[in-house]
Structure 1
Amino acid sequence: MALVLAGVVVLDCAEPEKLAAFYKELLDADETDVTANRVEIRAADGTRIAFRRDAKATPPSWPRPENSLQVHLDFHVTDLDEAERRVVGLGGRPLDTKDVASPFEERGCADPAGHSFTLRLRPTMAPKPG
Structure 2
Amino acid sequence: MALVVAGVVVLDCAEPEKLAAFYEELLDAEQTDATANRVEIKGGEGLRMAFRRDMTATPPSWPRPENSLQVHLDFHVEDLDEAERKVVSLGGRPLETKEAAGPFEERGYADPAGHSFTLRRTRATAPKSG
TM-score normalised by structure 2 residue count: 0.87
Counterpart for residue 59 of structure 2: 59
Counterpart for residue 109 of structure 1: 109
5 Å-filtered alignment, 1:68-87, equals 68-87=68-87
Which whole-Å CA distance do the structure 2 matches of 1:69 and 1:5 have between them? Answer: 27
Contact 1:63/1:97 (<8 A) preserved: no
User: RMSD value over aligned CA atoms?
Assistant: 1.4
Give the direction of change, closer, same or farther, for the CA distance of 1:97–1:63 in structure 2 (3 Å limit): farther
Contact 1:77/1:120 (<8 A) preserved: yes
What CA deviation, in whole Å up to 9, does each residue of 1:43-82 have, x standing for no partner? Answer: 0111000000000000001122121111110000000111
Could you list the structure 1 runs, at least 4 aligned residues long, displaced by more than 3 angstroms after superposition: none
Which whole-Å CA distance do the structure 1 matches of 2:71 and 2:92 have between them? Answer: 16
5 Å-filtered alignment, 1:1-130, equals 1-96=1-96, 105-123=105-123
Contact 1:10/1:49 (<8 A) preserved: yes
Which whole-Å CA distance do the structure 2 matches of 1:106 and 1:6 have between them? Answer: 28
Cα displacement (A) at 1:97? 6.0
Aligned length: 119
Which whole-Å CA distance do the structure 2 matches of 1:86 and 1:4 have between them? Answer: 34
The aligned amino acid for 1:45 is: E
Unaligned runs of 5+ in 2: 99-103, 125-130
What CA deviation, in whole Å up to 9, does each residue of 1:26-58 have, x standing for no partner? Answer: 001000000000000000111000000000000
What CA deviation, in whole Å up to 9, does each residue of 1:77-125 have, x standing for no partner? Answer: 0001111111000000000265xxxxx810000000000000000017x
Which whole-Å CA distance do the structure 2 matches of 1:90 and 1:119 have between them? Answer: 15
